[in-house]
Structure 1
Amino acid sequence: MLAGSTKRSPRAVRRLLLAPLCLAGALAWAQTTTAPAPSRLDSRLDSRLEHLREVGRFAPAKALPELRELEAQARAAGLRTKTDFLFQFGLAKLSIGLKQEAYALGEELYAYGRAQKDNRAMAKGLLAKSYSTYDLNRLADSHRYAWEAERLADLSTDVPLQVTSAIASAQSHGEEGNFPPALAKMQEAVAIARRHNDPVTLVIALDSLANLYSQMKEYDRGFEALDEAFKLAEKSASPGRQATLKSTEFILASSTNQPQRGLRALLAALALQRQIDADSDIVYSLVNLSDSYLKEHNYSRTIDYGNQAIEAARRINDESSVATARINIGQAYMGMGRLAEGKRNFEAGLKHYEESENKPELQGVLIEYGAVLERAGDLQGAVKAYHRERALSNELFEKQRQKAIWELQEKYETDKKQRQIELLSRENLVKSTEIDNRRLQQRVWWLLALVFALSSIVVTLLYRKVRQANAQLEVKNLELKQQSSRDPLTALYNRRHFQEFMRTHMQVEKRGSGTSGEEIVGALFLLDIDHFKKVNDTYGHAAGDLVLKMIAENLREILRETDMIVRWGGEEFLAFLPAIPRSGVEEIARRLLVGITAQTIHYQGHAITVNVSIGFAPFPLSPGEHPLPWERAVNLVDMALYLAKAHGRNRAYGVRGFANFAQTSMEDIEQDLERAWRSGFVDLSIVLGSNHEAGAEAAH
């Protein structure tokens, strides 16, 4: 697991860039540009601050005590000196994990700039707030502050500040996945740095551009930007700048499947960082080295670098990196067969993500945990991890769905108000016409009949338009009702519609027999796409959406029009077949497995195929005298699905019935379906996918 996230995300890249380079190199140069002549006292203070900027660029813990000594003197200095001190003081605190204190200094600097009516001070205050809220996981606030900082920086004469704010603005767009404006802003930052011929600022901009190209998967352009940055950095003889560029080379090499190049770059970066005691950067390099050796199955080095990372991270209060290192160490121990020790370390790291409330990252860590446990043979632990991830996935999916409904409702209300305004305008037009008619009646009596006729025509036309508007409103209401019961991406029914249907659905204990005398039953099928996250990570979310649409289309083709097909969660689908011969349930599962695997999606020159895992059962299920409620039946099918996941994927596990039920209970079966199956209390059937041996296995 890489530093900063479950993968090398824009978040991790941004933190590496902003701290060492942007707060030091560019801002140091800003001190020498179009500033007013400082007092002699301010000049001496500026010299000390410039020295501390060089120290704090990579070792903020060393610079912070001296900054505290200068605080009283700097707060009494002139506008420019005080502004730069508050900004540098806040970033030093942020670099050692004092996020709230750093945010408070950003607030103070912005308020000071407003009082002085100084765009430069306000822009720096907003940048400080953007960096702090970013580390506090308040991304929406961080992006808003960055964009406003860029607007104010462009009104100032501080060119390096304009470059820095343009980079922050571009990174904010990139974090939202909005790459066209992100690239435009980043290229603008490079262009400004070139025009003013400043190598330090240009290195910063080129390094940021290389990282953005990595996010966009345009790796050749990323390497081109990085090569130019390396040539400029070599002239400066700065170990810190070269270390930062080596870290970027590691990102690009890892993304282009060049592990040895990435490892060499990371080791070189660590050596340079240790020369200058760059504490926070050392932590990131150690964590990433631990992850790199983990991928090579070199578990002893994984543990060694992981322990070094924990020790270094604790010195700077970086709990996120401690957690990441713990997860890497846990995976290494599990790879060595030391399962208990590995789980203890992984759970210790996982605890940080749970406490940080960063649910998207927590979801990724849980998926990784389940996969590691599955490889280690702890299938029960893997199922529990997958269940935790699935619950979190459903929660996030429900929030996204609710947001979409709110947006749709808001649009509907806006359209409704617009129609009301149009109707009022027409009513006013009618009233105006009536007044004109009265005047005409008073002046010209012989035009009365004609005016009356015209008025009647106008009223008739308006009446028809009102009726048309009401008819359109009724159609819109029907559309809104339809949209509230359908998933917007796949056009399948959503979970809420299925729940409402099942609450009113009359279960029939015996559905009768078909023409051949065979028993007719209902059936539930729950499908989950195997390795769906890998599709999103490799090809992007647009490819993932195409996969979801393909699954929906195949379900419509394989099943009947009378069957209810539901998008149950993020990558889960539910099918309820109200009437089917009992012997045909397993055949339906086989057709679903084979039919979906046979489909290929062509996306940007790639051929994508996916498998699914399935849990299924006839419905209703009757373990005793009374049938199970539909909610418990779906839960049982979900447990069968996770058995299919844990036992190899691309297969279907079906609950056919129960045996010896007097010796157990439904609660015990739901606690551990696999144990109940192996104890003979549950009768399962197994259907293998197309890349397995054909046929269904009876499981007793």
Structure 2
Amino acid sequence: MDSSPRPADAWRLQGPYVAARPPSSLSFSLACRRLAAALAFVPMLAFGQPSVDAELAATREMVRFVPGEALRRLGGIEAAARRAPVATRAEFLFLYSDAFRRAGDPRQALALADELVGHGRSQGNDTVLAKGELARSYALTALNDLPGAHVAAFESERRAAGIADIALRVQTIITAGQAFQEQGNYPAALPKFQAAVDLARTIEDDQVPLSMALNGLVLLLTDMRQYDKGWEVQAESMALAKRMRSRGRQAIALLSEYGLAMDSAQYDRARAALLETLKVVRQLGARQMEAATLANLADSYLKDREYPRAADYAQQAVAAATAVNETKYLAVARINLGQAYLNMGRVAEGRQQFEAGLALYEKGRNLPQLQVVLAEYGNALERAGDYRNAISAYHRERAISNELFAAQRQKAMLELQHKYDTEKKQRQIEALRQENRVKGAELDNRRLQQRIWWLLAVVFALAAVIVGLLYRKVRQANAQLEVKNLELKQQSTLDPLTSLYNRRHFQDFMRTHALAERRQQAAAGDELVGALFLLDVDHFKHINDSHGHAAGDAVLKTIAAGLRDTLRETDMIVRWGGEEFLAFLPAVPRCGLDEVARRILRGVSSQAIAYGDKTLRVNVSVGFAPYPLAPGGTPLSWERAVNLVDMALYMAKSHGRNRAYGIHGFNGLERTTLEAIEQDLEGAWRNGFVDMAVVQDEAAAAEAQSAPVAELPGMAA
């Protein structure tokens, strides 16, 4: 797992290394910010404070690399610094906040940043306010409040726009560019970084702002995948760091080179950059950077399947992270150590390290990262042959996926509601304006009636025309409102990518129609039943990582179209979430369930998906069962039925993929319980309590093996 240290400190934990993707641009951006904050500002010496200013100057680099020692030294001058003039006190509060943040106390860092902002407001000093907003942006980022961090970054740039401190202006422009970069708004971010580089070149006596601007531009170009331009800027950044004879700047440039090399698939160059970084940060005594670099080296050797060396570097990373109490890097190091142990056959030790790393992620409630790590854990256990724990890991990952999906769905609904409310308010305003116009017309008519009686007939005619136009406009407004309501209803029930029904529509349907469906099937007898089929695209993550998310979207849309052709118009097809699809067949012969599963497998695997100059083929794993399921004569709720089908799907995953596992019925329930079956479906099947079918499409599998298709990384797993 890649921890990817970044040039300024907030090296966020990244997902598992799969297809040479470097750590996210967000981590790069945050890192650049923090180093720049520690290095960019030259203190304004205050008369009568030479010792405080000298200590601040000596501590500036220390904040970046050894924040614990910096906190001790800054604490020793706190009383004197708080009595110092405005500029000296501002520099002290800025460095003190940064040191607390880097030492792992972002809340104290935010409190000091707020104090710095208050100090700037009380003095009416835009320079101090710009520093304070920068410090708030860094602290809020460490607290995972990115929206608040972005607001502070933009406010910092606004405050610094007219000040004389060019180095501070460069830093605020960089930070604003990084905020756009974190939002994925690259067209807005690129001009910011270019402006920062141009402005930094005008500073003759300080090369630090130019170094920061060049490094930030490298990170942005890496995220934009403009690798040729990225290497050009990286060469200038490295040459500048060497001219400055600064080990810290060289370490930062090496880390940018590592990220760029990883993203452009130059793995040997990336590892060489990491090894050189390790040498430099050890000379600097920067233990946090050392821990992150060791974790990345372990990940590099995991990728090359050199598991003993990966375990050695991971153990060193655990020791380094423990020494500085860095839970972020400790979690990554333990995950990498668990990977190495599992691949070396040391399953118990591997599980112990993985669980220790997962506990750190769960403590921090980093759900997206925890989902990625659990998927990685399940794959590692599956490769090690520990299928029971692999299935457990998959279920834990699925629970988090459902939680994230629900949050995203709620956000989308709130956005739709906000849009509807806005349009409703606009319509109300327009109606009020129209009403005022009507009232004005009526007043004018009364005046005309009082003054010119002989034009009364003309006035009535004009009023009739106006009323007719108004009536026509009202009808048009009502028609437009009806269209908008239909559009909102469609958006709330259909998945925007595949145009299939979404999970919410299916849940509403089952709540409304489940009882009616059961009565219809009871009347039809035992020959016709309902059925649930749950599909999951095999190795879908590899498609996204190897060919990009656009290729993944093309695969999902093609599968959706194929399911429409394979199934009947009366069957409900649902995008269940991510790469999962659910099909509900209201009436199908009980003896034909296996054939439906075989048609689905064959229909998906036989499709050739054209993407760019490549042809992709994918398979799915399927779990299915008749519906309603009635063990012991008591029908299960549709939720429990879907859960059993999901367990059958994961059995298909764990037994080789590209196959279907179907539940036909239950046996010997007097010797077990339904809860026990739900806990361990595979064990229940092997003990004879569950009647299950295994369906494979042998013809499609043979054709897929002989067809010349694009190779996906890790498909053999």
What is the Cα deviation at residue 321 of structure 1?
0.9
1-structure distance, mates of 2:678, 2:129: 59
1-structure distance, mates of 2:422, 2:290: 53
Unaligned runs of 5+ in 2: 4-12, 17-22, 705-717
Does 1:17 find its partner at 2:24?
A: no
1-structure distance, mates of 2:686, 2:579: 29
- AA in 2 matched with 1:76: R
2-structure distance, mates of 1:433, 1:251: 69
What is the Cα deviation at residue 539 of structure 1?
4.2
Overall identity of the aligned pairs, in %: 53
Point out the more displaced range, 140-149 or 537-546.
537-546
Does 1:434 find its partner at 2:442?
A: yes
1-structure distance, mates of 2:262, 2:703: 39
**Aligned counterparts, 1:377-416, within 5 A:** 377-416=385-424
| Residues 607, 221 of structure 1: alpha-carbon distance in 2 compared, 3 angstrom cutoff | farther
| Residues 465, 399 of structure 1: alpha-carbon distance in 2 compared, 3 angstrom cutoff | same
| Residues 442, 24 of structure 1: alpha-carbon distance in 2 compared, 3 angstrom cutoff | closer
Asked whether the equivalents of residues 46 and 87 of structure 2 are also in contact (C-alpha less than 8 Å), the reply is no
2-structure distance, mates of 1:546, 1:120: 50
- AA in 1 matched with 2:701: H
What is the Cα deviation at residue 518 of structure 1?
10
2:40 to 26, 49, 64: 26
What is the Cα deviation at residue 345 of structure 1?
0.9
Question: 2:155 maps to what in 1?
Answer: 148
What is the Cα deviation at residue 299 of structure 1?
2.6
- AA in 2 matched with 1:453: A
Question: 1:2 maps to what in 2?
Answer: 2
Partner of 1:450, secondary structure, is: helix
Question: 1:698 maps to what in 2?
Answer: none
2-structure distance, mates of 1:551, 1:179: 31
Question: 2:517 maps to what in 1?
Answer: 507
What is the Cα deviation at residue 370 of structure 1?
1.0
Point out the more displaced range, 522-531 or 111-120.
522-531
What is the Cα deviation at residue 693 of structure 1?
5.2
- AA in 1 matched with 2:14: S
2-structure distance, mates of 1:536, 1:41: 61
What is the Cα deviation at residue 542 of structure 1?
4.0
- AA in 1 matched with 2:91: D
2-structure distance, mates of 1:49, 1:634: 63
What is the Cα deviation at residue 657 of structure 1?
2.3
Point out the more displaced range, 365-374 or 591-600.
591-600
Question: 1:566 maps to what in 2?
Answer: 574
Unaligned runs of 5+ in 1: 696-700
Q: Report Cα offsets for 1:460-500 as digits up to 9, x if no partner.
A: 22123223322332333333233222223332222222122
Higher relative contact order (CA closer than 8 Å, sequence separation 6+): 2
2-structure distance, mates of 1:337, 1:488: 44
Q: Which runs of 4+ in 1 moved over 6 A?
A: none
2-structure distance, mates of 1:119, 1:201: 19
What is the Cα deviation at residue 538 of structure 1?
4.0
Point out the more displaced range, 655-664 or 81-90.
655-664
Asked whether the equivalents of residues 513 and 520 of structure 1 are also in contact (C-alpha less than 8 Å), the reply is no
1-structure distance, mates of 2:260, 2:289: 17
Point out the more displaced range, 38-47 or 436-445.
38-47
What is the Cα deviation at residue 39 of structure 1?
4.1
What is the Cα deviation at residue 605 of structure 1?
5.2
2-structure distance, mates of 1:438, 1:671: 81
What is the Cα deviation at residue 296 of structure 1?
2.4
2-structure distance, mates of 1:356, 1:68: 28
Does 1:471 find its partner at 2:479?
A: yes
Question: 2:72 maps to what in 1?
Answer: 65
2-structure distance, mates of 1:583, 1:329: 49
2-structure distance, mates of 1:628, 1:274: 61
Question: 1:111 maps to what in 2?
Answer: 118
- AA in 2 matched with 1:273: V
**Aligned counterparts, 1:96-245, within 5 A:** 96-197=103-204, 198-245=206-253
- AA in 1 matched with 2:96: F
The CA RMSD over aligned residues, in Å, is 2.4
TM-score by length of 2: 0.90
Asked whether the equivalents of residues 187 and 209 of structure 1 are also in contact (C-alpha less than 8 Å), the reply is yes
What is the Cα deviation at residue 315 of structure 1?
2.8
**Aligned counterparts, 1:531-550, within 5 A:** 531-550=539-558
TM-score by length of 1: 0.92
Asked whether the equivalents of residues 512 and 519 of structure 1 are also in contact (C-alpha less than 8 Å), the reply is no
Point out the more displaced range, 280-289 or 41-50.
41-50
Question: 2:583 maps to what in 1?
Answer: 575
Partner of 2:691, secondary structure, is: strand
Does 1:93 find its partner at 2:100?
A: yes
Partner of 2:630, secondary structure, is: coil
Asked whether the equivalents of residues 23 and 57 of structure 1 are also in contact (C-alpha less than 8 Å), the reply is no
Asked whether the equivalents of residues 605 and 701 of structure 2 are also in contact (C-alpha less than 8 Å), the reply is no
Asked whether the equivalents of residues 394 and 570 of structure 1 are also in contact (C-alpha less than 8 Å), the reply is no
What is the Cα deviation at residue 564 of structure 1?
0.9
1-structure distance, mates of 2:446, 2:137: 66
**Aligned counterparts, 1:282-361, within 5 A:** 282-361=290-369
Question: 1:692 maps to what in 2?
Answer: 701
| Residues 306, 395 of structure 1: alpha-carbon distance in 2 compared, 3 angstrom cutoff | same
2-structure distance, mates of 1:132, 1:537: 32
